[in-house]
Structure 1
Amino acid sequence: MSKVVKKMMIDDIRTAVGEHRDLLVLDASKVDAVSANKWRLLMHSKKISVLGVRNSVANAALREVGIDLADSLKGPSTIVWGAEDVVALAREIVDSLKDCKNLAVKGGTLSGTALSASDVEKLSKSPGRKEVLGQLVGLILSPGANLAGALLGAGGTLAGQVQSVAEKTE
């Protein structure tokens, strides 16, 4: 491969990845063509980008943007990125492993930190951004909800007693 072609491929990978710093590396070499096409279409529908790469070219392109995947980029490699956050990406990939038996996770990166295949599995089981925000909002609102419940409970009891006294005096 000429240096010009290699430079063009590096630029294409760098452009495709863009600002994403959370990537996963898969081995899709043993997946048959029909299953691979179905899997790629499924990933596309979930806004997950899939790119089959040459390791040396991908490693050079990713190093230029500050991502080191040298440990994961061994053997046939496919890079995936996208979804709403890295946890959703990991969940989708781990879920697709059940349907596509020959697909394998090799590793990835989370904000510049290298991940192993087992780390990706653990990441898929952790709460995502929406879940964490929901838990945080619940924790922030719970004291106010408890106070409102206590006031309404006592106020309701008092209102019921006043009404029963008013009915007796009539």
Structure 2
Amino acid sequence: MDRTEKREFIAQLSAVFADTSFVLVAQNKGLTVADVSELRRRMRAAGATYKVAKNRLAMLALDGTRFQTVSPLLKGPTALAWSTDPVAVAKTAVEFARGNDKFVILGGALGTQALNPDGIKALSELPSLETLRAQLLGLIQTPATRIAGVLQAPGSQLARVFSAFAKKDAEGEAEAA
């Protein structure tokens, strides 16, 4: 990389850090190309980005952002992952780390809050953003269906009463004839 490419890379990474809510730092020492490709595919499917960056350039990009707390983690062969949905990144990284001992989660940051590997694991155990949205929608819709059921109940009860009277009248007329 020449100087202009480095400046562009730092500017792009700084813009990413300004827009995202979560950054994960992992050690990728000894991963094969196939392993990294698989991890990138999983991250992309989760709506996240996984990038191996030179530590010096990443530190320059982190400077002045709310994610400065991850700078001390950038030692050795490291990679960054980020997304607007922090749970998706954490879940994907933790699942991949379970199956591959060469991928080690070093920590991360959720906004200004620094997270250690245990914090990342705890974050991965939370329900995803889509799951939370579905649960919220279910909670909102539940009272509406209950109200509809309550409003329909008197009408259906009246219909059953009228039906019973009609049957009784029909039986009475049949006996009289």
Shared fold (TM-score, shorter chain, > 0.5): yes
Task: Give the SS at the match of 2:123.
Answer: helix
The one-letter code sitting in structure 1 at the alignment partner of 2:78 is S
State the partner residue of 2:88: 88
**Backbone CA RMSD of aligned residues:** 2.7
Report Cα offsets for 1:37-87 as digits up to 9, x if no partner: 3323343454432211232321221123332112432332100113x6111
Q: Distance in 2 between matches of 1:148 and 1:127?
A: 30
Q: Is 1:128 aligned to residue 122 of structure 2?
A: no
Q: Distance in 2 between matches of 1:32 and 1:38?
A: 10
Alignment gaps of 5+ in structure 1: none
In structure 2, relative to structure 1, the CA distance for the partners of 1:147 and 1:8 (3 Å cut) is: closer
The one-letter code sitting in structure 2 at the alignment partner of 1:74 is K
State the partner residue of 1:142: 142
Report Cα offsets for 1:88-121 as digits up to 9, x if no partner: 1211222222333321111111122211111111
The one-letter code sitting in structure 2 at the alignment partner of 1:13 is L
8 Å Cα contact 2:23/2:67 also seen in 1: no
8 Å Cα contact 2:21/2:86 also seen in 1: no
8 Å Cα contact 1:21/1:112 also seen in 2: no
> Percent of pairs identical after alignment?
25
Cα offset, 1:4, TM superposition: 6.7
* TM-score normalised according to structure 2 size: 0.78
Query: What is the number of equivalent residue pairs in this alignment?
Result: 169
Q: Distance in 2 between matches of 1:155 and 1:2?
A: 78
Task: Give the SS at the match of 1:75.
Answer: coil
Is the radius of gyration larger for structure 1 or structure 2? 2
Q: Distance in 2 between matches of 1:169 and 1:45?
A: 67
8 Å Cα contact 1:51/1:79 also seen in 2: yes
Q: Distance in 1 between matches of 2:15 and 2:39?
A: 23
State the partner residue of 1:61: 61
Alignment gaps of 5+ in structure 2: 171-177
